[in-house]
A and B are shown apart, each in its own frame.
Chain A
Amino acid sequence: DVKVTQSSRYLVKRTGEKVFLECVQDMDHENMFWYRQDPGLGLRLIYFSYDVKMKEKGDIPEGYSVSREKKERFSLILESASTNQTSMYLCASSLTGANEKLFFGSGTQLSVL
Protein backbone atom coordinates (compact mmCIF):
# COMPACT_ATOMS: atom_id res chain seq x y z
CA ASP A 1 0.00 0.00 0.00
CA VAL A 2 1.29 3.44 -0.87
CA LYS A 3 1.91 5.65 2.09
CA VAL A 4 2.59 9.11 3.39
CA THR A 5 3.85 8.82 6.95
CA GLN A 6 4.02 11.64 9.46
CA SER A 7 6.34 11.03 12.37
CA SER A 8 4.03 12.05 15.22
CA ARG A 9 0.27 11.90 15.68
CA TYR A 10 0.25 14.27 18.65
CA LEU A 11 2.88 16.75 19.76
CA VAL A 12 2.96 19.20 22.65
CA LYS A 13 5.56 21.97 22.65
CA ARG A 14 6.27 25.15 24.57
CA THR A 15 6.25 28.67 23.19
CA GLY A 16 9.61 29.56 21.67
CA GLU A 17 10.73 25.98 21.03
CA LYS A 18 12.02 24.91 17.63
CA VAL A 19 9.72 22.22 16.26
CA PHE A 20 10.36 19.70 13.50
CA LEU A 21 7.53 17.86 11.75
CA GLU A 22 8.68 15.03 9.53
CA CYS A 23 6.96 13.50 6.54
CA VAL A 24 8.06 10.54 4.42
CA GLN A 25 6.41 9.15 1.27
CA ASP A 26 7.17 5.85 -0.42
CA MET A 27 5.60 6.56 -3.82
CA ASP A 28 8.55 8.29 -5.49
CA HIS A 29 6.42 11.44 -5.86
CA GLU A 30 8.09 14.62 -7.03
CA ASN A 31 5.75 17.03 -5.26
CA MET A 32 5.29 17.35 -1.52
CA PHE A 33 3.16 19.77 0.47
CA TRP A 34 2.53 20.99 3.98
CA TYR A 35 -0.95 22.20 4.92
CA ARG A 36 -2.45 23.28 8.19
CA GLN A 37 -6.07 22.48 8.95
CA ASP A 38 -8.15 24.69 11.22
CA PRO A 39 -11.90 24.48 11.89
CA GLY A 40 -13.87 26.70 9.55
CA LEU A 41 -10.82 27.53 7.46
CA GLY A 42 -10.23 24.25 5.68
CA LEU A 43 -6.70 23.48 4.55
CA ARG A 44 -4.23 26.25 3.93
CA LEU A 45 -0.97 25.68 2.10
CA ILE A 46 2.17 26.54 4.04
CA TYR A 47 4.95 25.39 1.70
CA PHE A 48 5.44 22.99 -1.14
CA SER A 49 8.34 21.39 -2.97
CA TYR A 50 8.46 20.14 -6.53
CA ASP A 51 11.94 18.64 -6.38
CA VAL A 52 14.78 17.88 -4.01
CA LYS A 53 16.17 21.08 -2.45
CA MET A 54 13.45 23.12 -4.17
CA LYS A 55 10.73 24.90 -2.20
CA GLU A 56 8.00 27.42 -2.80
CA LYS A 57 5.98 29.50 -0.35
CA GLY A 58 2.33 28.74 -0.08
CA ASP A 59 -0.37 31.04 1.24
CA ILE A 60 0.73 31.22 4.90
CA PRO A 61 4.52 30.67 5.13
CA GLU A 62 5.23 33.16 7.92
CA GLY A 63 6.81 31.51 10.95
CA TYR A 64 7.63 28.31 9.05
CA SER A 65 10.44 26.92 6.96
CA VAL A 66 10.95 23.60 5.17
CA SER A 67 13.69 21.24 4.15
CA ARG A 68 13.82 18.66 1.42
CA GLU A 69 17.21 16.99 1.28
CA LYS A 70 15.90 13.70 -0.11
CA LYS A 71 13.05 13.04 -2.51
CA GLU A 72 11.04 10.98 -0.06
CA ARG A 73 11.31 13.31 2.95
CA PHE A 74 9.85 16.77 3.52
CA SER A 75 10.27 18.49 6.87
CA LEU A 76 8.34 21.42 8.28
CA ILE A 77 10.16 23.59 10.80
CA LEU A 78 8.64 26.03 13.25
CA GLU A 79 11.59 28.25 14.10
CA SER A 80 10.08 29.59 17.32
CA ALA A 81 6.71 28.04 18.09
CA SER A 82 3.85 30.31 19.07
CA THR A 83 0.39 29.55 20.42
CA ASN A 84 -1.25 30.59 17.15
CA GLN A 85 0.57 27.71 15.47
CA THR A 86 -1.49 25.22 17.44
CA SER A 87 -3.17 23.29 14.64
CA MET A 88 -3.46 20.04 12.70
CA TYR A 89 -0.62 19.74 10.18
CA LEU A 90 -1.11 17.59 7.11
CA CYS A 91 1.59 16.45 4.72
CA ALA A 92 0.71 15.40 1.18
CA SER A 93 2.45 14.27 -1.98
CA SER A 94 1.59 13.99 -5.65
CA LEU A 95 3.03 13.08 -9.01
CA THR A 96 4.45 15.85 -11.12
CA GLY A 97 1.77 16.02 -13.81
CA ALA A 98 -0.86 18.72 -13.83
CA ASN A 99 -4.08 18.12 -11.89
CA GLU A 100 -2.75 15.12 -10.01
CA LYS A 101 -4.53 14.07 -6.83
CA LEU A 102 -2.94 14.44 -3.43
CA PHE A 103 -2.05 11.58 -1.10
CA PHE A 104 -2.21 12.61 2.55
CA GLY A 105 -0.64 11.49 5.77
CA SER A 106 -2.77 11.07 8.90
CA GLY A 107 -1.76 14.42 10.31
CA THR A 108 0.07 15.77 13.35
CA GLN A 109 -1.96 17.59 15.97
CA LEU A 110 0.42 20.18 17.40
CA SER A 111 -0.35 22.01 20.61
CA VAL A 112 1.85 24.95 21.57
CA LEU A 113 1.48 25.94 25.22
Chain B
Amino acid sequence: GDSVTQMEGPVTLSEEAFLTINCTYTATGYPSLFWYVQYPGEGLQLLLKATKADDKGSNKGFEATYRKETTSFHLEKGSVQVSDSAVYFCALIPGGFKTIFGAGTRLFVKA
Protein backbone atom coordinates (compact mmCIF):
# COMPACT_ATOMS: atom_id res chain seq x y z
CA GLY B 1 0.00 0.00 0.00
CA ASP B 2 0.91 3.67 -0.02
CA SER B 3 3.42 4.71 2.62
CA VAL B 4 5.98 7.31 3.66
CA THR B 5 9.35 6.61 5.26
CA GLN B 6 11.37 9.38 6.83
CA MET B 7 14.62 9.41 8.74
CA GLU B 8 14.47 8.74 12.43
CA GLY B 9 15.28 11.48 14.82
CA PRO B 10 16.03 13.30 16.81
CA VAL B 11 18.27 15.44 14.67
CA THR B 12 20.38 17.88 16.66
CA LEU B 13 22.11 20.77 14.90
CA SER B 14 23.83 23.99 15.83
CA GLU B 15 22.37 27.27 14.66
CA GLU B 16 23.26 28.12 11.04
CA ALA B 17 23.99 24.48 10.17
CA PHE B 18 22.63 22.84 7.00
CA LEU B 19 19.58 20.65 7.42
CA THR B 20 18.50 17.61 5.45
CA ILE B 21 15.63 15.36 6.49
CA ASN B 22 15.21 12.40 4.18
CA CYS B 23 11.82 11.22 2.98
CA THR B 24 10.97 8.44 0.54
CA TYR B 25 7.57 7.21 -0.47
CA THR B 26 5.73 4.28 -2.00
CA ALA B 27 2.65 5.03 -4.05
CA THR B 28 1.02 4.07 -7.29
CA GLY B 29 0.38 6.79 -9.79
CA TYR B 30 1.37 10.38 -9.17
CA PRO B 31 0.89 11.43 -5.55
CA SER B 32 1.11 14.96 -4.22
CA LEU B 33 3.82 15.39 -1.60
CA PHE B 34 3.86 17.58 1.50
CA TRP B 35 5.97 18.62 4.45
CA TYR B 36 4.13 19.61 7.61
CA VAL B 37 5.70 21.09 10.75
CA GLN B 38 4.50 20.78 14.35
CA TYR B 39 5.82 23.32 16.84
CA PRO B 40 5.64 22.45 20.55
CA GLY B 41 2.10 22.43 21.89
CA GLU B 42 0.52 23.02 18.49
CA GLY B 43 -1.15 21.09 15.72
CA LEU B 44 0.52 20.50 12.37
CA GLN B 45 0.73 23.20 9.73
CA LEU B 46 1.68 22.95 6.09
CA LEU B 47 5.28 23.92 5.38
CA LEU B 48 5.45 23.23 1.64
CA LYS B 49 4.09 20.98 -1.06
CA ALA B 50 4.74 19.74 -4.59
CA THR B 51 2.18 18.18 -6.87
CA LYS B 52 4.17 16.80 -9.80
CA ALA B 53 7.58 15.41 -10.67
CA ASP B 54 10.49 17.89 -10.56
CA ASP B 55 8.38 20.51 -8.77
CA LYS B 56 10.19 22.31 -5.98
CA GLY B 57 8.20 23.43 -2.96
CA SER B 58 9.65 26.20 -0.80
CA ASN B 59 8.70 28.26 2.24
CA LYS B 60 10.53 30.04 5.09
CA GLY B 61 13.92 29.01 3.66
CA PHE B 62 12.96 25.33 3.47
CA GLU B 63 12.94 23.50 0.13
CA ALA B 64 12.06 20.06 -1.17
CA THR B 65 12.09 18.68 -4.72
CA TYR B 66 9.73 15.98 -5.96
CA ARG B 67 12.00 13.26 -7.40
CA LYS B 68 9.96 10.58 -9.08
CA GLU B 69 12.95 8.54 -10.23
CA THR B 70 14.11 8.07 -6.62
CA THR B 71 10.63 8.38 -5.04
CA SER B 72 11.99 10.99 -2.66
CA PHE B 73 11.05 14.39 -1.26
CA HIS B 74 13.93 15.39 1.02
CA LEU B 75 13.57 18.54 3.11
CA GLU B 76 16.51 20.99 3.15
CA LYS B 77 17.38 24.32 4.70
CA GLY B 78 20.66 26.12 4.28
CA SER B 79 20.91 27.72 7.72
CA VAL B 80 18.67 26.59 10.59
CA GLN B 81 17.60 28.76 13.50
CA VAL B 82 16.64 27.89 17.06
CA SER B 83 13.05 28.72 16.11
CA ASP B 84 13.08 25.85 13.58
CA SER B 85 13.08 23.33 16.44
CA ALA B 86 9.96 21.25 15.82
CA VAL B 87 8.74 17.91 14.52
CA TYR B 88 8.65 17.60 10.72
CA PHE B 89 6.29 15.22 8.92
CA CYS B 90 6.55 14.09 5.34
CA ALA B 91 3.19 13.18 3.81
CA LEU B 92 1.50 12.22 0.58
CA ILE B 93 -1.92 12.16 -0.98
CA PRO B 94 -2.03 9.26 -3.44
CA GLY B 95 -5.27 10.50 -4.95
CA GLY B 96 -8.46 11.96 -3.56
CA PHE B 97 -8.17 13.66 -0.18
CA LYS B 98 -6.76 11.10 2.26
CA THR B 99 -3.32 12.14 3.56
CA ILE B 100 -0.76 9.54 4.63
CA PHE B 101 1.95 10.65 7.07
CA GLY B 102 5.44 9.48 7.91
CA ALA B 103 6.49 8.90 11.51
CA GLY B 104 7.91 12.40 11.96
CA THR B 105 11.43 13.67 12.63
CA ARG B 106 12.17 15.79 15.66
CA LEU B 107 14.69 18.60 15.09
CA PHE B 108 16.57 20.34 17.90
CA VAL B 109 18.60 23.43 17.05
CA LYS B 110 21.11 24.65 19.64
CA ALA B 111 22.13 28.28 19.96
Contact = CB atoms under 8 A, between A and B. Distances in A.
Contact of A50 (B44, B97, B102): B97
B89 A43 contact: yes
Contacts of B97: 31, 50, 94, 96-100
> Range of interface residues on chain B?
20 to 34
B102 A104 contact: no
B95 A90 contact: no
B46 A102 contact: yes
> Range of interface residues on chain A?
20 to 34
B77 interface: no
Interface of A: 4, 31, 33, 35, 40-45, 48, 50, 58, 90, 92, 94, 96-107
16 contacts: A31-B97, A35-B101, A40-B103, A41-B103, A42-B89, A42-B101, A42-B102, A42-B104, A58-B98, A92-B43, A96-B97, A98-B32, A98-B93, A99-B49, A105-B43, A107-B43
